[in-house]
Amino acid sequence: MVEKVSSYARKDLQFFKVFLPEFSSRELVIPPAFIDILEKPLPNEVSLRDEIGRSWFVDTETEDTDERLRVVFKQGWKLFAEDQSLEFGDFLVFSYDGRSRFSVTIFAKDGCKKDLGFVTATDRSTRVSADEREPERRVKRNRHSEWVDIEPEYVSTIKTEPERHRKVNQAGGSCDIPVPEKKRRVFEEPVISKPKNPHFVRNISHCTLYKLDIPTTFLKSNGIELEKEVELCDEDGKKWPMEIVHHEKGFRFSHVLWKRFFESHKLMTNNKCIFEFIVASNGRCNEIQVRIVRGPLLTTMTKSYYHVLAL
């Protein structure tokens, strides 16, 4: 039997999960051993907070399986996974505050932390930086369709189309209060045309500033055979000689030549690069067109586990 210790007294309320799209894209199962050490059940709604202060609200559900009850992140998890651009093999560490908030740290397959420099915008809603909004009391309807006040500790990062928030006044009535325009920072996507050739999108992190791997699944699924020496063609038409280095897990750009490219283009950890491969009829490629996006960009993961533009 696992001895339960007061949640507020513990500092090790953590668990990790490896992101596997086949099983983790729509929901995430919380390890049963973690549930066992909690003093009280998880609330029906928790918040997931990333390292730069943004929060997502996620519902928790308890499911009865043949072996035992299991608790999962359900409604809201898919949106969190999409906004964080989670990829196959990403390593997530969840730290629980004992009440209703999980702080999430994400590591990529190469062992480095993933860059979280921007929010991915979607058609459903627009994210707003949690750190740039004043704390406010959220309200929602209860089962009797009455407006009720709830705790203000965690501020939702979802901004729906109406720009007014319902709040309860001291007399018990309700009123609409406009959100000050200066308190809102909306992330808009740049207009990007769809590539005509095979491509993948790479998020520039601290690791990719020094080495950039080419997904082997991308090359195989598109039947591409890279030449040992290729050229990177930037948006100004300038061509940069690049050597392809083979290593035990696949291919990457030469460190020295890639460093010259990213320093000349002043790449930063909030940028993304679109690599479009110009492939000959025999499947060989010696030219890669590179477009740099210095803001948010909507991407999607293919079945071969690499990111492309979501157009």
Both structure tokens of 31: 């390890």
- pLDDT recorded at residue 190: 59
Pairing of strands 45-49, 101-107: parallel
What's the whole-model pTM score?
0.46
Q: Are residues 260 and 177 in the same domain?
A: no
Among the three residues 50, 77, 107, which one is the final residue of a domain in this structure? 107
Three-state SS at 172: coil
Q: Are residues 78 and 133 in the same domain?
A: no
Q: Is residue 235 assigned to a domain?
A: yes
Q: Name, in order, each residue with C-beta under 8 angstroms of 216's C-beta and a sequence gap of 6 or more.
A: 249, 250, 251
Q: Are residues 84 and 171 in the same domain?
A: no
Q: Could you tell me if 55 and 131 are in contact, meaning their C-beta atoms sit under 8 angstroms apart?
A: no
Looking at the structure of the chain, the number of domains it has is 3
Q: Are residues 143 and 204 in the same domain?
A: no
Q: Is residue 191 assigned to a domain?
A: no
Q: Are residues 177 and 207 in the same domain?
A: no
- Per-position pLDDT tens, the chain of length 311: 444 444 444 557 899 999 998 888 899 999 988 888 888 889 999 999 988 888 899 999 988 766 667 899 999 999 999 888 898 899 999 999 988 999 999 998 888 888 664 444 333 333 433 333 334 333 343 433 333 434 433 333 333 444 444 444 444 444 544 444 444 444 455 567 888 999 999 888 777 777 888 988 899 999 999 999 999 999 999 999 999 998 877 899 999 999 999 999 999 877 889 999 999 999 999 999 999 998 877 777 677 667 788 76
Q: Is residue 86 assigned to a domain?
A: yes
Q: Is residue 188 assigned to a domain?
A: no
Q: What is the 3-state secondary structure (H, E, C) of 52-98?
A: CCCEEEEEEEEEECCCCEEEEECCCHHHHHHHCCCCCCCEEEEEECC
Residue 169 belongs to domain spanning:
126-183
CATH of the domain at 246: 2.40.330.10
Q: Are residues 75 and 44 in the same domain?
A: yes
Rounded distance between C-alpha atoms, residue 293 and residue 247, angstroms = 28
- pLDDT recorded at residue 279: 96
Q: Are residues 219 and 275 in the same domain?
A: yes
DSSP state of 13: -
